[in-house]
Amino acid sequence: MTDDQLDDAALDDQIRAGVRALADEAPTPPDLMSDRPGPEPATVHQLGHPLTLVAAAAAIVLLVAGAAIVVTRTDDTTTVQANSTTTGPATTTTVPDRSLYGVRWVAESAVVEGQETTFPSEESGTPTIVFDDAFDCNAGEGGSCMTPDGPAFFFYDGCNSGSGGMEIEGNTIRVSQMGSTAMGCGRWYSPFRRGNENPEGVTTFEIIGDRLIMSGPDGSAFTYRAGDDPLPERDGEVLIEDRVADVVYRITWQAIDDDYSMYLDRGIGGRADASVELSANDDVPAFLPQKAQIWGNALVYGMVPSAAATLTYVPSKTDPVDIPLLPLDGGAFQAFATLVPSGDQDWTLTATDADGNEIASYTAGTSD
């Protein structure tokens, strides 16, 4: 059967038949009602977080400038109520508890060095954090190979990006082998930070519905909400969307068999108008991106470019930027590329080998 032979209708028929066949394997729905206990009185849920007030109704008020988010919790489900003090009536949504892992957490507020900062909407510079329950660098599933296998985190703190391994005991995260970029931005909003502020590398966390609350021994506290975008699937497509300088970027990652591809679609106002593809195939055997992700205004991706010595980002209206490749064990490299695009700016990403020969070049630009 070929593409030409398989028209849309035939494909639809096959998909429908296949889905029905899969669904037909479904067992009998479980009987969840006959043994279900009756209603119980609300119980106190102890959170142990400095920002929370816990009562029988378990109401947690996260104060934001001019507004409040009320998180009401019992057992595993949470009601998040946003009350604006200046506009309109309250809105209420109910959300099941999210998992720590596999969620792109986007910062809402942070208390650092006694000063509270809020991030009312996601934009460039908004911190994010992602947790992986079983990171496996060698599996080619993404992430920095500086990060040890096992539970890991990947963060952008509003300035620097980093990652590290971790151990979790109860609601405590203990960090190991953390690495990060070291740009001197004079600000940071991450529960994970090297330095005297958190010498033990210990952070506590609590998940309440779609909110993640983290705090450190230095008094820092961070509230994240679950991002809207789906997180990458390890053995399939990755889709990450972020907004940089009012430009919406979407990155999809496909790991199909041994052919790895990254697609970066750029759009304005949600409309994709350009794309760039990084592929590992016979044409570019030395350029193997392993993961792509946007943290704030940084496009970050790992690769195994055994012959690549230089990676250059060339915006059309500013000077070229050489992106440092960080050597890793086994001859591989990790790259952190910072994009500073605008809506009408083209750019090129070029990888060259040690002799200056171009290995691969990728361009994005406005097409209309």
Partner 1 sequence: MGVMTEPEVDGSTAAMTDDAAIYARHASRLIALATVLAGPASAEDVVSAAVLKVLGSPSWPTVTNHGAYLTRAVFNEVRSSHRSSLRRAARERRTSTPTTTTDADPVPEIMAALAALPLRQRAAVFLTYWADLTPAAVAAELDISEGSVRKHLARARHTLRKELS
Given candidates 6, 44, 56, 182, which one binds partner 1 under the rule CB under 8 A?
6
Q: Is 269 helix (H, G, I), strand (E, B) or coil?
A: coil
The amino acid sitting at 55 is A
Phi, psi dihedrals of residue 324, rounded to the nearest 5°: -65, 140
Amino acid present at 290 = Q
Min. distance of Cβ 325 from partner 1 in angstroms? 30
CB 239 within 8 A of CB 252: yes
- Smallest separation (angstroms) from partner 1 to the CB of 341: 21
Please tell me whether residue 12 binds partner 1 under the rule CB under 8 A: yes
CB hemisphere CA count around 215 (13 angstroms): 15
Regarding 257 and contact with partner 1 (CB under 8 A), the answer is no
127-186 residues near partner 1, rule: CB under 8 A: 133-134
Q: Binders of partner 1: how many residues, by CB under 8 A?
A: 60
CB nearer partner 1, residue 10 or residue 65: 10
Please, which of residues 95-124 interact with partner 1 by CB under 8 A?
A: 96-99, 101-102
Question: CA 225 from chain center: how many Å?
Answer: 12
Question: How far is residue 310 from each of residues 53, 266, 348, 355, measured CA to CA in Å?
Answer: 52, 24, 13, 10
- Helix (H) or strand (E) holding 22, with range, is helix 8-23
How many CB atoms sit inside 10 A of residue 359's CB?
A: 19
Regarding 320 and contact with partner 1 (CB under 8 A), the answer is no
16 lines the binding site for partner 1 (CB under 8 A): yes
Candidate segments 91-99, 123-131, 217-225, 312-320, binder of partner 1 by CB under 8 A: 91-99
For position 366 contacting partner 1 by CB under 8 A, the verdict is no
CA angle at residue 212 from 249 to 189, to 5 degrees? 65
Buried-state track 122-150, b at ≥16 Cβ within 10 A, e below 16: bebbbbbbbbbeebebeebbbbbbbbeee
**CA 59, chain centre distance (Å):** 28
Q: Which one of residues 18, 66, 199, 343 is an interface residue with partner 1 (CB under 8 A)?
A: 18
Per-residue mark of binding to partner 1, 217-256 (x: CB under 8 A): -----------x-x--xxxxx-x------------x---x
Site for partner 1 in 23-82 (CB under 8 A): 23-34, 36, 38-39, 42, 72, 74-79
Q: What does the binding site for partner 1 look like in residue numbers (CB under 8 A)?
A: 1-3, 6, 11-34, 36, 38-39, 42, 72, 74-79, 92, 94, 96-99, 101-102, 133-134, 228, 230, 233-237, 239, 252, 256, 270
